[in-house]
């Protein structure tokens, strides 16, 4: 939600709150209705003076000093009557903005080009990418042959029946093992060349 929408929602809630609370505020500001007390009040006239014992009202005299002190008269002060204030509520209408249109669906990216091969040409292109097309390469990097098999992968997919290392097997034998590997994992074992050649 954008900040403008948030401000408009808060303003609408504030106006609604004022409109709901205005009658309550007006009722609480009105003076209370008079109460009929009848004979319970003192007769009208001057307020009598209250006489109090100073020692009872003050802690200034010590506990050991219990002498009676002089009586002191005091009169209550008249308190001012608070005035009443009339509360008025003003209702302001705010136009709501039109709803925003739904976002357009994202355009799907163009499909990636996929190359299809018939026969052994996919393996030739893959070998050109992986090893420069040299089916008997052994550079000492732990990968062997035209399709750069590791020793473990070569044996996991039955390459040991042809040769101990992939670079010692023929092109056709390396392709047999590659077909077995592709049947299980697709072209994932050759990630860089798979992307370069557009293989699935």
Read off the pLDDT of residues 101-113 as tens digits, 9 standing for 90 and up: 878 777 766 555 4
Confidence of residue 128 (pLDDT cuts 50, 70, 90): very high
List pLDDT tens digits, range 62-93.
Answer: 455 555 555 566 666 777 666 666 677 777 77
Percent of the chain with pLDDT over 90: 38
Residue the block writes with tokens 């209250």: 50
pTM: 0.42
Task: Name the β-bridge partners of 149.
Answer: 144
Phi, psi of 72 (to 5 degrees): -130, 135
Q: Which domains does the chain have, with CATH numbers?
A: 121-197 (1.10.530.10)
The pLDDT of residue 13: 73
């Amino acid at each position: 939600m954008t900040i403008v929408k948030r401000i408009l929602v808060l303003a609408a809630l504030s106006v609604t709150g004022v409109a709901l609370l205005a009658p309550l505020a007006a009722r609480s500001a009105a003076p209370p209705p008079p109460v009929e007390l009848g004979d319970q009040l003192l007769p009208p006239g001057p307020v009598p003076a209250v006489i109090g014992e100073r020692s009872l009202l003050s802690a200034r005299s010590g506990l050991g000093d219990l002498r009676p002190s002089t009586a002191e008269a005091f009169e209550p002060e008249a308190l001012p009557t608070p005035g009443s204030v009339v509360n008025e509520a003003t209702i302001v209408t705010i136009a709501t903005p039109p709803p925003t249109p739904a976002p357009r669906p994202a355009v799907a990216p163009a499909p990636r080009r996929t190359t299809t091969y018939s026969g052994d040409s996919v393996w030739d292109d893959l070998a050109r990418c992986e090893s420069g097309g040299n089916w008997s390469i052994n550079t000492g990097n732990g990968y062997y042959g035209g399709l750069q098999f590791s020793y473990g992968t070569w044996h996991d997919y039955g390459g040991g029946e042809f040769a101990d290392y992939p670079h010692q097997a023929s092109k056709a034998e390396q392709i047999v093992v590659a077909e077995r590997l592709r049947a299980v994992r697709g072209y994932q074992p050759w990630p860089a060349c798979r992307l370069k050649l557009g293989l699935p």
